[in-house]
Amino acid sequence: MSKRKIIIEPDPILRKVSEPLEKVDNELRKLMDDMLETMYSAPGIGLAAVQIGILKRLIVIDISKGEEKKKNPLFLINPIITSRSKDTSIYEEGCLSIPGHFAEIERPAQCHINFLDYTGKQKQLKADGLLSTCIQHEIDHLDGKLFIDYLSKLKKNMIIKKLLKQKKTQDKIVL
């Protein structure tokens, strides 16, 4: 496994729509392992392939953070949301591509998805709570959407401006 570089907003690639995968093979599993390592070391609870510059419909998630620390990774290949609940929930969301910024986002509380798992098997999952929010956040990435898109234009632009400033500062101190 090897760690990959996470792409930070603003970057045009984060706004592109990712392509479905045609087959699940060892090469793809290696990529998923890399994504998982990158996510764990960040640390984060979800990562979409586009965040490491690969425009494929591929997500890794592990919400089992906290006391127990037992790893429980979830690999989602070509995930499709088949239904969303009418009731909603609000979580404070962050994003590995938007470091240091958080905002409360309202989303459907539950969702059903179809996807292929690590072995390429067709699976279904009913998610609620944090997992539901996380899945929706990551699938948004596959469609070129970020959580800041749910905020007012003013708030969104303020965050992008700050990220741009941080990027410029970082560029200056690279030796």
Q: In whole angstroms, how close is the CB of 129 to Zn ion at the nearest point?
A: 18
138 classed as catalytic: yes
Closer residue to Zn ion in complex, CB, 95/127: 95
Q: What is the binding site for Zn ion (CB under 5 A)? A: 95
Closer residue to Zn ion in complex, CB, 25/149: 149
Q: In whole angstroms, how close is the CB of 96 to Zn ion at the nearest point?
A: 6
Strands (E), 27-142: 46-48, 58-61, 74-84, 88-93, 103-108, 110-116, 122-128
* Distance between CA atoms of residues 39 and 35, nearest Å: 6
Cβ density class 64-82: b for 16+ within 10 Å, e for less: eeeeeeeeebbbbbbbebe
Closer residue to Zn ion in complex, CB, 31/47: 47
In the beta sheet, which residues pair with residue 145? none
Shortest-Cβ-distance residue relative to Zn ion = 95
From 27, 93, 104, 138, the catalytic residue: 138
Q: In whole angstroms, how close is the CB of 21 to Zn ion at the nearest point?
A: 20
Q: In whole angstroms, how close is the CB of 57 to Zn ion at the nearest point?
A: 15
Residues acting as catalytic residues: 138
